[in-house]
Structure 1
Amino acid sequence: MTRKEDARFVRGRGTYVDDVRLPGTLHAAVLRSPLAHARITAIDTRAAEAHPKVRVVITGAVLADRGLAWMPTLSGDVQAVLATDKVRFQGQEVAFVIADDPYSARDALALVDVDYDPLPPVVDARTALDPDAPVIRDDREGRRDNHIFDWEAGDAAATDRVFAGAAVVVAQDVLYPRVHPAPLETCAVIADHDVVTGKLTVWATTQAPHAHRTLLATITGIPEHRIRVVSPDVGGGFGNKVPIYPAYVCAVAGSMLTGRPVKWTEDRSENLMATTFARDYHMHGEIASTVDGKILALRVRVLADHGAFNGTAQPSKYPAGFFHIVTGSYDLEAAHCSVTGVYTNKAPGGVAYACSFRVAEASFLVERLVDLLALELDVDPAELRMRNLLRPEQFPYTCSTGWEYDSGDYPRALALLLETAGYRELRAEQARRRELGEHLGIGLSFFTEAVGAGPRKHMDIVGLGMADGAELRVHPTGKAVLRISVQSQGQGHETTFAQIVAHELGIGPDDVDVVHGDTDATPFGLGTYGSRSTPVSGAAASMAARKVRERARIVASAMLEVSPDDLEWSPGRWSVRGDPTAGKSITEIAAAAHSDLDLPDGVEGQLDASCVYNPPNLTFPFGAYLCVVEVDPGTGQVVVRRFVAVDDCGVRINPSIVEGQVHGGLADGIGVALMELIAFDPDGNHLGGSFMDYLLPTAVDCPSWELAETVTPSPHHPLGAKGIGECATVGSPAAVVNAVMDALRPFGVRHADMPLTPAAVWRAIQGRPLRGDLAID
């Protein structure tokens, strides 16, 4: 089935926030700090306010008078809406100018005079905890350092014992650099406060409309039932559009001050400089094994750079994210991971960028360590993985950090990968080409994802439990409307969720409309990120449809004058058991449910139902990837020649959408591995403010993807589905880096940090690697 929503998108008929036009709308621009760390000694807005088209200039002092100076982040930290005492990263919001048109608002930014007293910045997480390091969050009472949290998972003592007795131990420092989601559509907001009704309507590019409504109510004091958040078509999110940003709060304040709608649309430089980043983890990993390659244990230490405010979008009980899955896909005796989070003078980081809360970082580290162990033991990396992968009979499997993997046949996925790629032939070709002085690299990775954030007894964001709702109504003509709490940013929700209802009720997907992105028209839920849509909200839709089906059975029994127990279901029809000709279709039942049909006592008419789905566990999709690269040692240029991906996401609802998600994730992985980097100079200046500096992969950089799949249903999901949206982003960077390192083996290169740009590869060959997290030497 092709995607239902594409008809409007390919014709340019989508409606994004910037397309929304309200009468009397004013336009806003944000004044941002040019410095990474500085005291604010004065802000003079008089010249800007004198501009003939400027309506109001909002500063931190103005917000403070209204109790709006600070806002909560998704981690439970607090962040300045507009800087008052000092700025803490380059690009931080200092003032908000509202004018008659966007050009005048931009022009007036230059008229706001801010006096800064520069302070020394902290741009390297490795120095953030030095005793003499400047304290960034000195606004917090009692704060004397840049420490945020310490967190650990696993059994440290047991892990240390295994390492003490291990015959082989391999260790490596690994940087997962700071990268940016860079969605096609930047952030935007329109706030419209009605002074008569007290109703606040906010159009925003958000992945989580209901969470935004709750946060806006908390920040502004406006009762939540008087706030409506609308998230229309969203041009990509990847985690970047989960948080509330200061400009959203300023737009609300501006509408309250002016009595008119206020619109703000971010430009690309602002998006790259100041919206939430991801990764930026310094990781030290150790892997222990026997001499014959049985992996015994993993030990990991992590230093997490969360920027100037801890804006991490992840379950609050796990401030370091899901490093509990650091065991990867292997059967280990013990594992331990410790994480320290620190503040630095960078934009707030820690967004769940196209991965479920740090799984990408953990998977990358594990797969690099496995390749390094294979190098140490002189064992083929595919063989080493096959020896250590979890076996089907071990599921459900409780890993060394306490999480229960639901299902999987890992050896079958790896075997299919090797067969599809022609692994033996590739290795033979590599040997021949090395004799000719050519540098072909073959890289493998195997990953296990943890998606579908929930159950809520384990996971919440700012106190909101991670469950999701669905509401289904079948009209008298048999057509259905499904209302869901997750929000699409291109994943095809209008198609996938229609197919779920159609599957359960036996009607056509075109007869199901899916409503999302409007808090006044949908049930409460925590939104789309962490690959939650199908594992959580998809399950809610399925369960709601089953409730409707059971209600239809009662109605059909009254129509057929038989006991409900005498009916059996076939797609779209309840029939009398033993007599399939005596039955009623869903369409007939829907009409009768709205008629004067005499129903049993206590049974209501109409066909509708709702469900709030609290998942009993995460789901655990997995996959095996292989990448083939060619490296030019003279220039350091890396060319990806082939990429073969085997994914298992449980039951596939729409294979074409699954493949599209995998294609995007694989391209993303190539970008992260080879070119993407948000870098800073020693003064905290942001060095990637445009797509001239922050490189994204294009079709030229990507091969023709070769995809295959296995299907291992999740035993606890109503449909057996596990989720796919972030798998390829998790698994692909390690495959690419392992391939490049394999190509560089003749030069004695053991490891080089991402991104493996031509300069980085060339310098690794020369034995002079770059410093890792800085783009300058």
Structure 2
Amino acid sequence: MSANGSPMGFGRMRRKEDARFVRGRGTYVDDVRLPGMLHGAVLRSPLAHARIESIDTTAAEAHPKVQAVITASELAERGLAWMPTLSYDTQAVLASDKVRFQGQEVAFVVAEDHYAARDALALIDVEYSPLPVVADAGTSLDESTVVIRDDLKDKQDNRIFDWEAGDKASTDAVFAKADVVVAQDVLYPRVHPAPLETCGIVADFDPIAEKLTAWSTTQAPHAHRTLLASVLGIPEHRIRVISPDVGGGFGNKVPIYPAYLCAVVGSMITGRPVKWAEDRSENLMTSAFARDYHMRGEIAATSDGKILGLRVRVLADHGAFNCTAQPTDYPAGFFHIVTGSYDLQAAHCEVTGVYTNKAPGGVAYACSFRIAEASYLVERLVDMLALELDTDPAELRMRNLLRPGQFPYVCPTGWEYDSGNYPAALELAMKTAGYEALRAEQAAKRERGEYMGIGISCFTEAVGAGPRKHMDILGLGMADGCELRIHPTGSAVLRISVQSQGQGHETTFAQIVAHELGISPDEVEVVHGDTDQTPFGLGTYGSRSTPVSGAAAAVAAQRVRERAKLVASAMLEVSPSDLDWERGRWFVRGAPTIGRTITEIAAAAHSSLELPDGVEGHLDASCVYNPPNLTFPYGAYICVVDVDPGTGQVKVRRFIAVDDCGTRINPTIVEGQIHGGLADGIGMALMELMAFDSDGNCLGGSFMDYLLPTSVECPPWELGEMVTPSPHHPLGAKGIGESATVGSPAAVVNAIMDALKPFDVRHADMPLTPAAVWCAIQGRPLRSDLAIE
């Protein structure tokens, strides 16, 4: 047992990092204070689309506390006017020719304090000439629509890409022979990750050493270092990125934002450190969003409910610049894992990405590269098929779910699912919910004029962001490094390339090493978030920490264990082949009392012991883990709601979530991740919406307008557990961080639509606010669906 009573390895234990957090000893970027530090502020455009006729910074520069005012012209002189995005697009660091979304960066002020920097923004005079605004993805490709990215050579329209997956001919053939075809236009609206801590940086450029140190709120320190080196022209070994404690990320802190580069340039100009931290409105209005997918889905089936195929057409709104953090070969992310948890004959999807006059981005917010959108569409279509066939939605799903014997399963769009028992997950969810009793209760309530709904969602996630032969971002392969060192006293230091934003890495990764070496997790220090102290890797997003870096940690620990075997053989004067392993020690086969613990072996490895040929001493190992495939966690969810038809108010009464993430390293952390994801899903289903008016004005710039769920809206979660290890992961772990957000919105919406069945409501788009629900009941949708031809 460890000092805090936890087991040596997998199992429940208190999070190691919480000791400092609950005492207020966490260190965030805004806690960084450097001698002579200055403060930066960004002047942002009030218009969504306009020509910049002139910028006059004279008055701002005359402010007694202002040290520098940076505009696009100053950046152009340094070759920094434009920066690459994570999707091989380019983005203006500061607008020069025109602004393309409300809130776009126009100028950057560096001053003695935060307040002076903010005050000086009002002294900058910018003359704009308004241009027509494209605020609707549905009109972005109209011939008469203005071209937003006229900076791109020969750009004739607002199309970013056209992409497809699956076999169109086979899918069309399946639809032609189907007895039933159900189609629906579905919007997955723009939402925002809204982390508790907003984005920020402290940039300190040393002109003597020509070295840049940047404290940044980033989920991917090494990727940021590489991008900063490529943009700034500073050799990468002279850049140090430190990501201290991060107050939530959810994909929002994957990109490099223009203000980061401005802060660096401000430090270069002034010779002093420069801090920039955005406020809440800046974060909501201008930093990376998620979703904004306009989808038309069709599902084909036989008359007895056998699902045959899916056909999907998507219009993806990527904003003014294509900044989506997605693998190079998959501009639409993993949306084409659109078949979900069902055994289909064929599937085909087409995705068109377009520019609009909205903030850029499209991050993998609590989902692995667009799988949340695909899962939501499929689960809505399955429910509508059940309605069409007058079949119970649970029965229809059970009839079509993949069976354990079908794994590894290659879906119609080419991805190989690793393992699972989907019917058992749904059965467990139904048993936990008391499904038959719920249906009886629902029938009784309807007779009394009460409207209760039961929604089901089955989903398959795809996480891990690898292997690198298939997946990269800007040429950087999605593999992760890990370094493990055992000290002479037997304690360990593990250096990892992924960065925690609250997931508990310091606990989980310590438990992985403890499990492999038989030592206490308390004896393992986990180092992360500092590019000078950790090996290269692409960071934390897409639930890739345990599937990729966790595997690297396990392999490194296994290599240490095998190295320890050789040292133990020298200590015991036997052949390595005569040794057996038990948790924490090597012993002589047939003589279990004769052995050496890892602590004893570590001391000997650093001593004068004569070691076998080829063994240099010490107990160190490293690993660069290139996953052979994605991992595929899955789940089955059931949501129970009550709807007041007079007000449209929805109350989520119960939520049952059965998840299978493979091997569970720390069940407490797993459950915490699920709790957060379920709350995310309820928020998206019921209240979250980043809306814009026809002039491109953002209508969700504060928490008065952009609503987030609280404990009031969330019921006590009822969790069920399945464990089907991944066959290709060293620990059998699949990842869990984003699964609940993938599966929960559909369960909530399906429950509401089930409650509104007596009103003949077939579909209404998220968020299902009281106004939206009331309008749906009245037959007057609050927002008309977008038809996709």
Instruction: With the length of structure 1 as denominator, give the TM-score of the two structures.
Output: 0.99
Residue of structure 2 in register with 1:379 after alignment: 391
For residue 695 of structure 2, the aligned residue among 666, 678, 683 is 683
Cα distance in 1 for partners of 2:366, 2:85 equals: 19
What residue in structure 2 maps to residue 463 of structure 1?
475
Q: 2:77 aligns with which of 34, 52, 65?
A: 65
Partner SS state of residue 292, structure 2 = strand
TM alignment of 1:441-520, pairs within 5 A: 441-520=453-532
Q: 1:13 aligns with which of 16, 19, 25?
A: 25
Match status 1:117 vs 2:129? yes
1:579 maps to 591
Take 1:620 and 1:292, find their aligned partners in 2: how far apart are those partners? 29
Structure 1 equivalent of residue 777 of structure 2: 765
- Matched to 1:190, the amino acid is V
Shift of 1:12: 0.7
User: 1:430 aligns to what?
Assistant: 442
Note the 1:279-294 alignment, pairs <5 A. 279-294=291-306
Provide the residue aligned with 2:238 in structure 1. 226
Instruction: Assess if the C-alpha contact under 8 Å between 1:679 and 1:773 holds in 2.
Output: no
Q: 2:672 is matched with which residue?
A: 660
Structure 1 unmatched runs, 5+: none
Match of 1:540 among 537, 545, 552: 552
1:560, distance to aligned residue in structure 2 (A): 0.4
- Of the three residues 202, 206, 214, the one matched with 1:190 is 202
Q: In the alignment, is the contact (CA less than 8 A) between 1:305 and 1:349 conserved in 2? A: no
**Is residue 732 from structure 1 mapped to residue 719 from structure 2 by the alignment?**
no
Change (3 A) 1:199 1:773: farther
Alignment of 1:608 onto 2:620: yes
Q: Which amino acid aligns with 1:166?
A: A
Amino acid corresponding to residue 181 of structure 1 in structure 2 = P
Structure 2 residue 330 is the aligned partner of structure 1 residue 302: no
Q: Say if 2:170 is the partner of 1:158.
A: yes
Counterpart position of 1:704: 716
Q: CA deviation at 1:66?
A: 0.4
Q: How has the CA–CA distance of structure 1 residues 161 and 773 changed in structure 2, closer, same or farther, with 3 Å as cutoff?
A: closer
Hey, what's the Cα distance between the residues in 1 that align with 2:333 and 2:453? Answer: 32
Matched, 1:411 2:411: no
Contact 2:165–2:413 (CA<8 Å) still a contact in 1?
yes
Gaps of 5+ in 2: 1-12
Q: Report what 1:391 is aligned to.
A: 403
1:327: which partner in 2?
Answer: 339
Contact 2:188 2:766 in 1 (8 A): yes
Aligned 8 A contact 1:135 1:145 in 2: yes
1:235 matches 2:247: yes
Structure 1 residues 656 and 599: alpha-carbon distance in aligned structure 2, compared to 1, 3 A threshold: same
**SS of match in other structure, 1:278:** coil
8 Å Cα contact 1:652/1:658 also seen in 2: yes
Is residue 723 of structure 1 aligned with residue 727 of structure 2? Answer: no
Maintained 8 Å contact 1:162/1:297: yes
Per the TM alignment, residue 76 of structure 1 is displaced from its structure 2 partner at its CA by 1.2
1:439 paired to 2:456? no
- SS at 1:170's partner residue? strand
- 3-state SS in 1 of match to 2:26: coil
* CA distance in structure 1 between the partners assigned to 2:648 and 2:475 by the alignment: 48
| C-alpha distance in structure 2 between counterparts of 1:527 and 1:597, whole Å | 40
Correspondence for 2:564: 552
Partner AA of 1:366 in structure 2? V
* 2:684 aligned partner: 672
Could you tell me how far apart the structure 2 residues matched to 1:45 and 1:516 are?
41
* Kept after mapping to 1: 8 A contact 2:680/2:741: yes
Please show how residues 603-642 of structure 1 align to structure 2 within 5 Å.
603-642=615-654
Using the alignment, how far apart are the partners of 1:349 and 1:291 within structure 2? 42
Aligned equivalents of 2:492, 2:272: Cα separation in 1: 37
Question: Residue 288 of structure 1: SS of its match in structure 2?
Answer: strand
**C-alpha distance in structure 1 between counterparts of 2:321 and 2:126, whole Å:** 22
Matching residue's letter, 1:591 = A
- The CA distance in 2 between the partners of 1:474 and 1:602, in whole Å, is 19
Deviation readout 1:556-584 (Å, 9 max, x if unpaired): 00000100011010000000011011100
* Residue 773 of structure 1, CA deviation: 8.5
Output the CA distance in 2 between the equivalents of 1:708 and 1:772: 37
Q: How many Å apart are 1:600 and its aligned residue?
A: 1.4
Equivalents in 2 of 1:373, 1:226: separation in Å? 58
Q: Is the 8 A contact 1:630 1:640 kept in 2?
A: yes
2:116 paired residue among 91, 94, 104: 104
Q: Distance in 2 between matches of 1:125 and 1:427?
A: 40
Contact 1:279 1:349 in 2 (8 A): no
Matched residue, 2:8:
none
Measured after TM superposition, the shift of residue 472 of structure 1 is 0.1
Please tell me the residue identity of whatever aligns with 1:102: H
**How far apart, in 2, do the equivalents of 1:271 and 1:313 lie?**
17
Amino acid at match of 1:230: I
1:452-509 per-residue CA deviation (whole Å, 9 max, x = no partner) reads 0000000000110000010000000000000000000000000000000000000000
Q: For 1:429, what is the secondary structure of its paired residue?
A: helix
Counterpart contact for 2:186–2:785, Cα < 8 Å: no
- In 2, Cα distance between equivalents of 1:757 and 1:457: 44
Q: 1:54 aligns with which of 51, 66, 71?
A: 66
Q: Deviations over 1:180-223 (max 9, x none)?
A: 00000000100000000011000000000000000000110000
Aligned-partner SS, 2:189: strand
Amino acid at match of 2:556: A
The alpha-carbon deviation at position 350 of structure 1 amounts to 1.2
Are the equivalent residues in 1 in contact too, given 2:166–2:413 (CA < 8 A)? yes
Q: Deviation of residue 772 (structure 1)?
A: 5.3
Which residue does 1:527 correspond to in 2? 539
Runs of 4 or more above 6 Å deviation: none
Amino acid at match of 1:203: W
Q: What does residue 346 of structure 1 align with? A: 358
Residue correspondences, number: 774
Q: Which amino acid aligns with 2:233?
A: G
Cα separation, 2, equivalents of 1:312 and 1:79: 12
Kindly indicate whether the alpha-carbon contact (under 8 Å) linking 1:177 and 1:773 is maintained by their aligned counterparts in 2. Answer: no
Instruction: Please report how far the alpha carbon of residue 17 of structure 1 lies from its aligned counterpart in structure 2 after TM superposition.
Output: 0.1
For 2:96 and 2:779, locate their aligned partners in 1 and report how far apart those are by CA, in whole Å: 47
Contact 1:159–1:297 under 8 Å retained in 2: yes
Q: Match for residue 93 of structure 1?
A: 105
Letter in 2 for 1:713: P
Is 1:139 the counterpart of 2:151? The answer is yes
- The two structures have a TM-score, normalised by structure 2, of 0.98
Task: Describe the SS at the equivalent of 2:413.
Answer: coil
**Do the aligned residues in 2 keep the contact of 1:127 with 1:133 (CA within 8 Å)?**
yes
Cα deviation digits, residues 353-382 of structure 1 (max 9, x gap): 010000000000000000000000000000
Shift of 1:324: 1.9
